[in-house]
Chains A and B, each alone.
Chain A
Amino acid sequence: MSGVKAVGVRVALDRKPILHGVDFAVASGSWHAVLGPNGAGKSTLLRAVAGILPYAGEIHVGGQSVARLAAKHRARLIAYVPQEPQLPGDMTVGEYVRLGRTPHLGYLGVETRDDRAVAGRALERLDLTGFATRRLGAMSGGERQRVVLARALAQQAGLLLLDEPTTALDLGHQQQVLDLVDELRSTEGLTVVSTLHDLSIAAQYADELTLLVGGQAVARGTAREVLTEERIAEHYGARIRVLDDGEGRPVVHLVRGKGR
């Protein structure tokens, strides 16, 4: 339904080419992680899929070309959570989540009972019902991430794009957010594409991975196929070991230098 198929995606920002013909495909209902060293173009790829950057090549979501979709129609198919979402401190959680209904409203933005019900269910889904009248400024980091997910969920789009959803979260909150996304994926049938900088986390959660280096996809496949010691050492310039977590998923370790 909301699978992604991208062929030869090229993006230039300020005339500087960032992506040089990236291909990737995401099966509907699966979790796809985009990995890569800093500056590889991960966020740019995500923003292109979200339809907010002009691109050359083809990106299809649910069989429809992203570039040809009207903005409102596109917003009903694709929800996007940036790395650092802006949460106006004085807005309440309830108001913020209801803004997720925007693509379903007319030009004047009149919310119906249904819209409020959908937003209410999104709050409920993320255990935020009791927080509806709380100011966003009074929410902690982990709560804020849940609020943003609730806003995306209220959008009722089949494809959820997450740019580094766990930056700035401690270990426990990272796990919580990722588990939550995983649960939404399986219960709501969402397709998830996320950039992740932590390779071990990507290996844990994603069904498939794309390794992006210098604006090109250098490897695609399952975690075991993509995350090999040679490949990571080569592209990240890091000394690492890849172990097995006992359930067939790779775990990437940094190896300390010799010291002096």
Chain B
Amino acid sequence: MGRVGARGADGSGPGAGSGTGPGATDAGFATGVVEPVDPAGADGDAAAGNGSAGDAVGAEATTRPAFETAPRRFARPTIALLAATAVLFLAVLIASLGGAAGLPVAGTAEALLNKLPFVHFDTGLTAVQQGVLDQIRLPRVVLATLVGALLAQAGAAYQGVFRNPLSDSGTIGASAGAGMAATLVIVYGGGPEHTFAGIGAVPLAAFVGGLAGVLASYVLGTLVGRGGTASLILAGVAVSSFVGSVQAFVMQSSTADVKQVYSWLFGSFTAADWGLVRLALPYAAVSVLIVTLHARHLDVLALGDDEAATLGLNPVRIRLIVLAAASLATATAVAVSGIIGFVGLVVPHVVRRVAGPGHRLLLPMSLLVGGAFLVLADLLARTALAPAELPIGVVTSFVGAPFFVLILRATRGRDR
């Protein structure tokens, strides 16, 4: 055993070296973040360090920087979540303040906190200001937060399910299906004015179309493969481009509606009201609950299907469950906002860089950060060229892409 330890320490030389480069703090932080409390483990660390002091592993452990062995792991996930919650609150506050009618900062913050149970501040807002906040700003802010949260968490779930960092709602046919269904309704179905059981025809079509796109991809993927990830992704690509071509044809042949279709395809929260929020909330709750409950399953899936199976899981079934829940989230988001790219791809990656790959932290953090990101993007969309509005998809990509590159560069120490 002594010899094994010595070899281990030798082998770790270069690795340890690269770990203490620019990315060291990140690595330390991230690894700490995902580590749940483990007093027993911390004791074990100490004991092993002492017990094997004679061999190289013991020596290695004692020379390791304090942050790697420090038993301060407990606070880290909690701190990360609290920090993300604070960021989200700030984003919501800033977004609530932005707009034509000026609102006082302190009063608005208090008014927002008043929405929490058991909180009551005397805000000092006038009735008109409170009305602007409640009826104009907040529905839109809340809807943007909800959609951002859903898209980001769905993206994280898709990436986990497919073990592919480039997956998002575009990969599995959800966006394409929703896009085509909405286009058909706008062009042939009379447009957004039509309602069905009190629900707008376009959101309804997008919702159904998104789910149908995923279903088509899944069925096709299982027919040509055995439910493995590669065949599912390829099926998603096939369905997306097929559906995309149909959509292009439809748009080509009815140029009158193209502008309307385009504005929908790039996403917008112009139509936001409490009704849309209420419409989306139940589906959002169900999908978030299901995805979050499968966090550890996604960690195991990262080891590959064979190993997941020998660890007692059914990888195909878990993939189906998480895929269905994430697609429900995507369909819900698309239905109330149109297609908003980039959020599902970028937010989970940024979160992963600071919080590590463990889904138990990644999934809730993606919710919070995704909400904050989209609510700020929407603020930009409605204020940058006010009174005109930018499509939100344009903002997420225009601002998000350079920001993404910056994040990647700043955290490249964590590249494998």
**Which A residues are closer than 8 A to B by beta carbons?**
47, 50-52, 71-76, 78-80, 82, 85-92, 94-95, 99-100, 102-103, 105, 108-109, 111, 113, 116-117, 119-121, 123-124, 126-135, 137-143, 146, 155, 172-173, 176, 179-180, 183
- For A119, list chain B residues within 8 Å (CB): 41
Decide if B356 touches A92 in the complex (CB within 8 Å).
yes
Closest CB in chain B relative to A64 CB, distance in Å: 15
- For B5, list chain A residues within 8 Å (CB): 127
- CB-CB nearest in chain B for A157: B310
Residue B286 lies at the interface, judged by CB distance under 8 Å to chain A: no
Closest CB in chain A relative to B252 CB, distance in Å: 42
- For B41, list chain A residues within 8 Å (CB): 94, 116-117, 119-120, 132
A-B contact sample (16 more), CB < 8 A, given A124-B48, A134-B12, A140-B15:
A50-B310, A71-B312, A82-B304, A90-B30, A95-B35, A102-B312, A113-B40, A116-B40, A120-B40, A126-B4, A127-B5, A127-B57, A130-B58, A132-B41, A142-B7, A142-B11
Decide if A129 touches B61 in the complex (CB within 8 Å).
yes
**Which B residues are closer than 8 A to A by beta carbons?**
1, 3-5, 7-8, 11-12, 14-16, 18-19, 27-28, 30-32, 34-36, 38, 40-41, 44-45, 48-49, 52, 55, 57-58, 60-61, 64, 68-69, 293, 295-297, 299-300, 302-304, 306-307, 309-314, 352, 356-358, 414, 416
Q: In the docked arrangement, what's the CA distance between A129 and B56, Å?
A: 12
Q: In the docked arrangement, what's the CA distance between A143 and B18, Å?
A: 16
Q: In the docked arrangement, what's the CA distance between A137 and B27, Å?
A: 11
- CB-CB nearest in chain B for A163: B306
- For A137, list chain B residues within 8 Å (CB): 416
Closest CB in chain A relative to B315 CB, distance in Å: 10
Q: In the docked arrangement, what's the CA distance between A94 and B4, Å?
A: 19
Q: In the docked arrangement, what's the CA distance between A83 and B366, Å?
A: 34
Decide if A95 touches B34 in the complex (CB within 8 Å).
yes
Decide if B300 touches A102 in the complex (CB within 8 Å).
yes
A51, A120, A127, A173: residue with the most chain B Cβ atoms closer than 10 Å = A127
Decide if A47 touches B35 in the complex (CB within 8 Å).
no
Q: In the docked arrangement, what's the CA distance between A155 and B306, Å?
A: 15
The answer to whether A143 and B312 touch (CB under 8 A), given A86-B302, A95-B34, A130-B45, is: no
- For B55, list chain A residues within 8 Å (CB): 127
Decide if A129 touches B310 in the complex (CB within 8 Å).
no
Decide if B356 touches A140 in the complex (CB within 8 Å).
no
Decide if A76 touches B296 in the complex (CB within 8 Å).
no
Q: In the docked arrangement, what's the CA distance between A155 and B1, Å?
A: 21
Decide if A130 touches B4 in the complex (CB within 8 Å).
no
Task: Please pick, from A47, A103, A117, A143, the residue contacting B306 in the complex, using a CB distance under 8 A.
Answer: A47
Decide if B15 touches A86 in the complex (CB within 8 Å).
no
Decide if A173 touches B57 in the complex (CB within 8 Å).
no
Task: Please pick, from B3, B68, B309, the residue contacting A134 in the complex, using a CB distance under 8 A.
Answer: B68
Closest CB in chain B relative to A2 CB, distance in Å: 15
Task: Please pick, from A91, A131, A183, the residue contacting B357 in the complex, using a CB distance under 8 A.
Answer: A91
Decide if A52 touches B304 in the complex (CB within 8 Å).
no
- For A89, list chain B residues within 8 Å (CB): 416
Q: In the docked arrangement, what's the CA distance between A155 and B308, Å?
A: 12
Give 18 pairs: A residue, B residue, CB < 8 Å, sorted on A. A52-B306, A75-B311, A91-B356, A92-B34, A100-B311, A102-B296, A116-B36, A117-B41, A126-B4, A128-B8, A129-B44, A130-B49, A130-B69, A131-B12, A138-B16, A142-B8, A142-B11, A180-B4
- For B14, list chain A residues within 8 Å (CB): 140
The answer to whether A133 and B69 touch (CB under 8 A), given A78-B310, A109-B297, is: yes
Decide if A80 touches B307 in the complex (CB within 8 Å).
yes
Q: In the docked arrangement, what's the CA distance between A81 and B416, Å?
A: 22
Task: Please pick, from B38, B64, B313, B352, the residue contacting A130 in the complex, using a CB distance under 8 A.
Answer: B64
Q: In the docked arrangement, what's the CA distance between A138 and B414, Å?
A: 10
Q: In the docked arrangement, what's the CA distance between A243 and B416, Å?
A: 45
Closest CB in chain B relative to A104 CB, distance in Å: 9
- For B300, list chain A residues within 8 Å (CB): 99, 102
Q: In the docked arrangement, what's the CA distance between A127 and B414, Å?
A: 25
Decide if B309 touches A92 in the complex (CB within 8 Å).
no
Q: In the docked arrangement, what's the CA distance between A80 and B58, Å?
A: 29
Decide if A92 touches B31 in the complex (CB within 8 Å).
yes
Q: In the docked arrangement, what's the CA distance between A131 and B41, Å?
A: 12
Decide if B295 touches A109 in the complex (CB within 8 Å).
yes
Decide if B7 touches A91 in the complex (CB within 8 Å).
no
Decide if A133 touches B19 in the complex (CB within 8 Å).
no
